[in-house]
Structure 1
Amino acid sequence: MNKDRERTPFMILPPLYRLEPSSEYSWNIRRISEGSNDMALPKDRESLFWIAFRAVPLKDSKIEEKKSVSLTITPTFFFKLIYRPESIMALENKDVIDDVIVEKVNENIVINNKSPLYMTFEYLKVGEVEIKNDGRAITVKPFSTVSVEAPKNVQGKLSWRFNDENFFIIKDKEY
């Protein structure tokens, strides 16, 4: 998802592929050479990119023949691509779970990620009320702090859960 048309350090092959109904396909994602400075990635932390896959529907020749008005919907699916450099390849999310500090400060939930990995919450709750970031799960960049507005007039413990790289539950925590 690159609105500014910046160059990205990855190439997806093939860029266009016909996928038949009820079939599956694996794309090949390749890292482009680091020879160019504008494509260098940090070596001490993960980098996150969004990939957009667009499902282009077949053209219906019957509609073309009738010259009627038609509406074609092209769904787009977005996926996170997280690049982990060799220097931290051995780390796993479960190894750095204690490097993420979550606390309630005044009317906000403050999340401090002291790890080199992107951390995405499966859930973050105050009492039974789940907290989202613009409707999405909260993802915290490596070595950064995020502040999210806490729900008003809600009492209860602060609880959260992270998943590992394979979407298995790492650990439930409460504060």
Structure 2
Amino acid sequence: MRILLLFICFMTCTFTMFTHATGVQVGRTRIIYDANTREVALPLTNKDKELPWLIQSWIDTGDEKTRGPFIITPPLFRLDPQKEQNLRITWSGQALPTDRESLFYMNIRTIPAMAKDDDNKNVLRLIYKTRLKLFWRPKGLHNNPVDTCKSLRFSRRASQLVITNDGDYYSVFDNLKLGSTSIKDAEIVAPKATAQFTVPKTASGKEVTWRCITDYGNPTNEFNSILTQE
């Protein structure tokens, strides 16, 4: 199996593009690591009917450089066509906050093998990277993520929408609107923290409506609140 680890452009002008729309499928959209569990399994399935794929995975703290306190087994392996294998994620034991969730990012790089028939062709190979949120959830947190989302507080400071999260969990928005205007850059608010997002000039009114994304990747019911002015 030959793997090309970078985009390779040969001297000629003709290329064959492989999109591999049926490549490696990741079994979740987010990972919840409960401190009560020994490890978390993330299933990967190779949907390709012919080619194996190379799988490389790691976890970072959010800057895409610093590795997180987790061990992945196996970190690098070959996944044969039409096969499934679990990545097993284990906490390394490094101290983390015990009164709130911590957020990390799971990275999965998938690289298709080159078919024998392509040996003499000019080929552009693509490397795919999937990035998932991993929430470390310690014992003894209060309420639950949906209650935290429902209890968010909203105020306006000049052109900024200020969101306060008093809860122990991260709130990740499915959508957020001020009046009828979407606040598109509003993504996430950390526990016991505030976040600020720019209000579009077209936004008016004081009613805020929002949904968050649950542990299962689906949206919550819609919540609403009246905006306060700072």
Which TM-score band (shorter chain)? 0.7 to 0.9
Aligned counterpart in structure 2 of residue 153 of structure 1, from 202, 213, 226 = 202
Q: Secondary structure at the match of 2:172?
A: strand
Q: Aligned residue for 2:17? A: none
| Higher deviation after alignment, 13-22 or 111-120 | 13-22
Query: TM-score by structure 1 length?
Result: 0.80
Q: Deviations over 1:51-71 (max 9, x none)?
A: 11111101233333x2x4321
Matched, 1:138 2:138: no
Q: How far is the alpha carbon of 1:121 from its aligned partner?
A: 1.1
Q: Secondary structure at the match of 2:130?
A: strand
Q: Aligned residue for 1:93? A: 145
| Higher deviation after alignment, 74-83 or 97-106 | 97-106
Q: How far is the alpha carbon of 1:158 from its aligned partner?
A: 2.3
Mark the runs of 5 or more structure 1 residues left unpaired by the alignment: 34-38
Q: Aligned residue for 1:55? A: 110
Q: How far is the alpha carbon of 1:12 from its aligned partner?
A: 1.6
Cα RMSD after superposing both structures: 2.4
Higher helix share: 1
Q: How far is the alpha carbon of 1:95 from its aligned partner?
A: 3.1
Mark the runs of 5 or more structure 2 residues left unpaired by the alignment: 1-58
The 3 A distance-change label for structure 1 pair 25 and 82 is same
Q: Is the 8 A contact 2:148 2:165 kept in 1?
A: no
Aligned length: 164
Q: Deviations over 1:36-60 (max 9, x none)?
A: xxx3111111110011111110123
The amino acid that maps onto 1:9 is: P
Q: How far is the alpha carbon of 1:168 from its aligned partner?
A: 4.8
Query: TM-score by structure 2 length?
Result: 0.62
Percent identity between the two aligned chains: 29
Higher relative contact order (CA 8 A, sep 6+): 2
Q: Aligned residue for 2:215? A: 165
